[in-house]
Amino acid sequence: MRDHSSVIPLLKTIGPFNEVADDYNYQSAWDRLSTSKILVIGAGGLGCEILKNLALTGFKNIHVIDMDTIDLSNLNRQFLFRHKDIGKSKSEIAANFIKQRIGEDNINIIPFFGKIQDKSIEFYSQFDLVISGLDSIEARRWINATLVNLSSSNNKIIPLIDGGTEGFRGQSRVIIPSFTSCFECTLDLMSQKITYPVCTIANTPRLPEHCIEWAHLIQWNIEFGSTKKFDADIPQHIQWMYETALNRAKIFKIEGVTKQLTLGVCKNIIPAIASTNSIIAASCCNEAFKLLTDSNPYLNNYMSYSGDYSIYTYTFENNKRSNCSVCGSLPKKIYVESYKTLQQFIEDIKDKQEIQIKNPSISSISGPLYMSSPTELQKITKNNLSKKLNKLISNGDEIVITDVNLPISLRLIVYFTSDEKDPELN
């Protein structure tokens, strides 16, 4: 048995700090440590810290998902891994380590070695909370969109706590899908990949990075054409990149091209330091504790931490963007008679007062169904107008409607009713 009595005073204090003091109950707050199901996405630098913190706080149901395997360069900060684990799944090794440390009877921790996109909506809907410690913006956008969609299609609100670090900087944020601003709302806050003008790379290189980018962007295609795609995970490719960049650096008398830097530039490796990961992961986990137990008000909704120049933190409320493509308009269910053609469907939605569309363009996950502009796309897609909608998409598919008059894109989830025949034709 483990003793978590150290957190009891935090839960027993009932007062102005409880989010909803009237409904707050110590016992149910305490029970939630054992009953809450938490999903941790990423078992890397942040993930190791997050798993450790959650387990030591007393949470007992944790799933962890990561597609990566352990690399030598991870061991300096990803402390759940040892040298013998190199090449193995991060999530599996991390889960095993935590299980051994906490005791198999005291925690239920389930790893998944794979991509987050491989799991179904049903998988995600079982959790009370998701914490992500990822550096991939693409994956963070995906989980954000998935949870925002769940909030509208299943009316299941699963808070997302998102942590991110880059060198001495980091941020943690709490996203309550469809209530607060989401990850997509603030895409422009994400630090951009450092890029250099092509003409500088081509003509006036001054930095070792310029030489590497020259090899990467320009010389590779000249040497191998577009047939052989560069892959930063293939050692021979990196070796070629390094040697080509080094030769160029010699010509321009530039110092500093190393194999490590070549790998860093080609893979866009973000600098990472163990202590920033600890700070950000710790703040994410405290917010998880407060959210799940209702003991104290949680972060509203963005904390930015910067240690580049002295130290500075700033907390602010990020506003929802009304034209956000993910949370600006939540998908609505629509029932469509099975006999309706795409054209009839378009006429129907044009008639709807609340939508205000004149010239809609429509697409589904498999591509455009009808695009009213540009002309080229209109010509290609107009043949679809006479087809039945249920031949173009499946029951439950999402469609997206855009219109120049519409500031947002409108999303509908289409369900077909069994009316096979058009009553007007009878």
Known catalytic residues?
Answer: 199
346 is a site residue for Zn ion (CB under 5 A):
no
Q: Rounded to an integer, what distance in angstroms lies between the CA atom of residue 231 and that of residue 184?
A: 28
Q: Which segment (11-19, 105-113, 175-183, 310-318) binds Zn ion by CB under 5 A?
A: 175-183
184 is a site residue for Zn ion (CB under 5 A):
yes
Q: Which of 176, 324 has the CB closer to Zn ion?
A: 324
Q: Rounded to an integer, what distance in angstroms lies between the CA atom of residue 238 and that of residue 240?
A: 5
For tokens 């053609």, what's the residue? 341
Measured at the CA of 87, the angle between CA 92 and CA 99, to 5 degrees, comes to: 20
Q: Which of 33, 326 has the CB closer to Zn ion?
A: 326
From the list Zn ion, other proteins, none, partner contacted by residue 188 (C-beta under 5 to 8 A by kind): other proteins
Q: Which of 156, 387 has the CB closer to Zn ion?
A: 156
From the list Zn ion, other proteins, none, partner contacted by residue 374 (C-beta under 5 to 8 A by kind): other proteins
State the burial class of residue 323 (Cβ atoms within 10 Å of its Cβ: 0-12, 13-18, 19+): exposed
160 is a site residue for Zn ion (CB under 5 A):
no
Which residues ranging from 66 to 125 are in contact with Zn ion (CB under 5 A)?
none
Least distance (Å) from other proteins to the CB of residue 160? 12
From the list Zn ion, other proteins, none, partner contacted by residue 327 (C-beta under 5 to 8 A by kind): Zn ion
327 is a site residue for Zn ion (CB under 5 A):
yes
Q: Which of 145, 282 has the CB closer to other proteins?
A: 145
Question: Which of 54, 324, 362, 393 forms a contact with Zn ion (CB under 5 A)?
Answer: 324
* DSSP bridge pairs for 165: 170
Q: Which of 61, 78 has the CB closer to other proteins?
A: 61
Contact by Cβ (8 Å): 22, 36: no
Exposure string for 6-30, b = 16+ CB within 10 A, e = fewer = ebeeebeeeeeebeeeeebeeeebb
From the list Zn ion, other proteins, none, partner contacted by residue 185 (C-beta under 5 to 8 A by kind): Zn ion
Axis crossing angle, helix 90-102 with helix 45-57, rounded to the nearest 10: 30
Site size toward Zn ion, by CB under 5 A: 6
Residue (of 242, 234, 142) closest to 182 by Cα position: 142
